[in-house]
Structure 1
């Protein structure tokens, strides 16, 4: 015999198989990270829209506090129309539209009762949402009372 040990015939190709399995596991990990990143971006966008809705509603409540006529801020009033331009504008919420054929309205509503309780409901639709859905909704209720 010559001193060299022979490799067993059943072991050929094992290293290649291990490498392929390692590449598969690595690829699944990378795909999971990409999916996680996409979900994080979507959730960040949703949080931004909720924050914008809160800021728009709080701005309207602030205007109501300094106004003498709360009914002008109710849906259809002059002050409501001016505020609506901000809500539906480029700096406002996405997908705020009036109802039309096959499109559900996402215009905000503002109600004021005799006791000064104000309810502001904001709707918005992200670009991925269908136009027949009402979309997301944010409701703020506040009491505006004046000292005599």
Structure 2
């Protein structure tokens, strides 16, 4: 005895096709979400690398300050003044360090101000006034990632340290 399959009622025609299209839509949204998540992950990883590089460059400068001849001065005030003269923005040691910051292994987009361009050059200040902050060093590093516009201030990392003996 052979049974014939019952015909599909007219109200059910095309339901399977509709279910398949909905499944493809849900799957596509999931894949697009994963791609967006991957792009965000790459961007956050790059940002973390730049922050780490900024910290290392600031720590390198602090290490240079500790080992510099300025630390041989006889009084704390004289040491702070010698550090200020050598390492503060514009000093000879600062200029050498600036080449590391803006060089091949440094931070991206470190440039001086020009027409329509916001400066991202790092700044270094050394407090040489007598008091609790004598020898306090403030290093401010700035950088601009390649996708940022030139008139944007960029990212910033500030390191504060006390250089004294």
What's the TM-score once normalised by structure 2's chain length?
A: 0.85
Superposed CA offset, 1:31-69 (max 9, x none): 000000000000000000000000000000000011113
Q: What SS is found at the alignment partner of 2:137?
A: strand
CA distance in 2, matches of 1:3, 1:73: 95
- Paired residues, number: 145
| Residue 94 (structure 2) aligns with | 80
CA distance in 2, matches of 1:58, 1:13: 68
CA distance in 1, matches of 2:8, 2:151: 69
Please list every run of 5 or more consecutive structure 2 residues that lacks an aligned counterpart in the other structure: 71-81, 129-133
Equivalences for 1:97-112 in 2 at 5 Å? 97-112=111-126
CA distance in 2, matches of 1:106, 1:95: 7
CA distance in 1, matches of 2:9, 2:88: 86
| Residue 39 (structure 1) aligns with | 40
| Residue 63 (structure 1) aligns with | 64
CA distance in 2, matches of 1:125, 1:3: 75
CA distance in 1, matches of 2:32, 2:41: 14
Superposed CA offset, 1:1-24 (max 9, x none): x95333212111111110000000
| Residue 104 (structure 2) aligns with | 90
| Residue 119 (structure 1) aligns with | 138
Please list every run of 5 or more consecutive structure 1 residues that lacks an aligned counterpart in the other structure: none
Q: Deviating runs (4+, > 6 A) in structure 1?
A: none
